[in-house]
Structure 1
């Protein structure tokens, strides 16, 4: 799945995509995770990507996170953008219902059509929960859609950084477990203990749902 790397920089490398309509906050989410700094961003033109190194469960992981423009005119990039992706974060704006319905009508269909990795892990992410008084999509609706499309589910705010790091770290942990299943099956290694502890923390600290 991920690529095992035999150097001193990282143990595994994963390609992660951010997809969804223009203006849902994909670039702000990425910037918040990479640099812990968020400001208003103009729409991404074409494709941008950032690299983040993490250590989870005793392993050094390299995430290459791709951010694409949500506009249809960049559709020529589509197939190469999805090729080889290990994780996909489908983002909608909880204050704009059309961005939510487009996940089913447009983006989920693209994932099915172009994703080349059958074991790709997906997270449905409802962004901009800091604007709760403008909410147009309920949490229950988001969870139901995530279950329909076999995604994990979270809500976030790139503006106040709520659940931003949680989203990327949850995805990375799931990728790592899928990559090295022996971590959960064999022995009582330190790595296994750390991952199991993290899974317990996840289940206690946020109520995001998933389907398997």
Structure 2
């Protein structure tokens, strides 16, 4: 599996930089000369309105805090491009969905090709997590997605953060397996980058494993079945060779 510690970040459409901020020369197409292929990791964010999904997504995209953000009424997409050591340009596409109750049903069609789902909560919305997981179970029932819980606003305290036992109970109750649980602060940036790197690596490793398994299946050699008719052999008689 590829190591994200060797990643290089594309900060804008014009400039491609490595993790130290040094510019990488690109071809006229805007792509680095070492690039081999593109890959997209589509990740959906769920959470109640005001929980901090948009500020979290902006931190991942720009690694900075935006003090004021408009309410998301339908959908916003935030992207961060990562140039892996192999030359693969991986796009981490974070879909920020509306948290209002009236907009929740709009997320049904968004799950197509989704690799991961981030369910965010804070102290005020902790009791609504079960409802979010029920929605996830309903809308993503035909999709194989990895689910991550994120406790936001830990700069205000950590007493509200779910325990491992509570997460296990929620998973069993709603039939949704939670892969991991993170504590972050979109305001201060605490743990946001580490959370992003861990999730991106896990999703990319899973995608590579999936591609490897599919490739293995396609190269399976079919052996001759015993029921197949025998191959007729012909011999030349009176060969003067």
TM-score (norm 1): 0.71
**What is aligned with 2:140?**
115
What is the root-mean-square deviation of aligned Cα atoms in Å? Answer: 2.8
2:95 to 20, 44, 66: 66
Flag structure 2 segments of 5+ consecutive residues without an equivalent.
1-30, 214-241
Of 83, 108, 115, the residue aligned with 2:112 is: 83
The answer on whether the counterparts of 1:14 and 1:86 sit within 8 Å (CA) in structure 2 is yes
User: Residues 182 and 138 from structure 1, CA distance in 2 versus in 1: closer, same or farther, beyond 3 angstroms?
Assistant: closer
Instruction: Please list every run of 5 or more consecutive structure 1 residues that lacks an aligned counterpart in the other structure.
Output: 1-6, 186-212
Aligned residue for 2:118, secondary structure, equals strand
Show the counterpart of 2:182.
154
From the CA coordinates, give the structure whose radius of gyration is larger. Answer: 2
Matches within 5 A, 1:50-199: 50-56=78-84, 58=86, 59-93=88-122, 95-96=123-124, 99-104=125-130, 106-115=131-140, 118-132=143-157, 135-140=159-164, 143-144=167-168, 148=172, 149-151=176-178, 152-181=180-209
Contact (CA 8 Å) 1:82, 1:116: kept in 2 or not? Answer: no
Deviations 1:128-156 (A, max 9, x none): 000017x4345556654676442111110
Q: Is the 8 A contact 1:177 1:183 kept in 2?
A: no
Task: Indicate if the aligned counterparts of 1:83 and 1:114 stay in contact, CA closer than 8 A.
Answer: no
Any runs of at least 4 consecutive aligned residues in structure 1 with deviations exceeding 3 A, and if so which?
7-11, 55-59, 135-149, 182-185
Distance in 2 between residues matched to 1:43 and 1:125, nearest whole Å: 20
* Number of equivalences: 174
**Structure 2 equivalent of residue 33 of structure 1:** 60
Shift of 1:183: 10
Superposition TM-score, scaled by structure 2 size: 0.63
